[in-house]
Amino acid sequence: MTKSKTSCLAFSHHDHKRCQNKLLSAARDLCESRNLRLTERRKQVLQILLQSHQPIGAYDILAQLNQGQARIAPPIVYRALEFLLEEGLAHRIECKNAFIGCVHPGHQGATQFLICKDCDKVAELENPVSALQEDARNVGFVIDHSVVELTGTCADCQQNVG
């Protein structure tokens, strides 16, 4: 039984530098094992996504890449994102048109996002769909891809407001 609590990384206080490094090296491993190239660009974009547990828009990623003298255009970012999404190294948060690094790359299966509207952090819970799938099956519907995004207030932010 996958226990949710252990997966709820974003809302847990943790050594984030270490978290980033772990996820980056997991991405490297995953690409190597699949014979895919984690190119410099892709790595750059992934690193930007992994800077925090808050989702970031494609144009904000672009702005970060262009902080130096570089003048890079949107398609480059979208293509790197496409790769990362396909390989399950990043997720798209539909209700924000934004992107976030995956915190358990390699685990297949559907993901449920908890989006705090106060701190903007997004937690990723695995395998939520069972009940939903059942409802769908009842009407003969076969699920291909699921978007589950729950917006609200995380435990920390509830305390901070009172």
Partner DNA sequence: AAAAGTTACGTTATAATATAACACTATGAC
Partner DNA sequence: GTCATAGTGTTATATTATAACGTAACTTTT
Nearest residue (CB) to a copy of itself, 79 versus 141: 141
> Per rule CB under 8 A, is residue 81 in the interface with a copy of itself?
no
**Per-residue contact flags (x/-) with DNA for residues 34 to 73, judged by CB under 7 A:** --xx-xxxx--------------xxxx----------xxx
8 binds, among a copy of itself, DNA, none (CB under 5 to 8 A by kind): a copy of itself
40 binds, among DNA, a copy of itself, none (CB under 5 to 8 A by kind): DNA
DSSP category for residue 90: E
**The tokens of 145 are what?**
């891809």
78 binds, among a copy of itself, DNA, none (CB under 5 to 8 A by kind): DNA
Q: Among 14, 63, 94, 109, which residue sits at the site for a copy of itself (rule: CB under 8 A)? A: 94
Residues 6+ apart with CB under 8 A from 157: 116, 118, 119
**Distance in angstroms between the alpha carbons of the first and the last residue of the chain:** 34
CB of 59 to a copy of itself, least distance (A): 16
Under 8 Å between Cβ of 64 and 37: no
Nearest residue (CB) to DNA, 19 versus 24: 24
- The whole-angstrom separation of Cα 103 and Cα 27 is 10
- The whole-angstrom separation of Cα 119 and Cα 29 is 31
Partners of 91 in the beta sheet? 100
- The whole-angstrom separation of Cα 101 and Cα 24 is 10
Site for DNA in 84-113 (CB under 7 A): 97-98
Residues found near DNA in the complex (CB under 7 A): 36-37, 39-42, 57-60, 71-76, 78-80, 83, 97-98
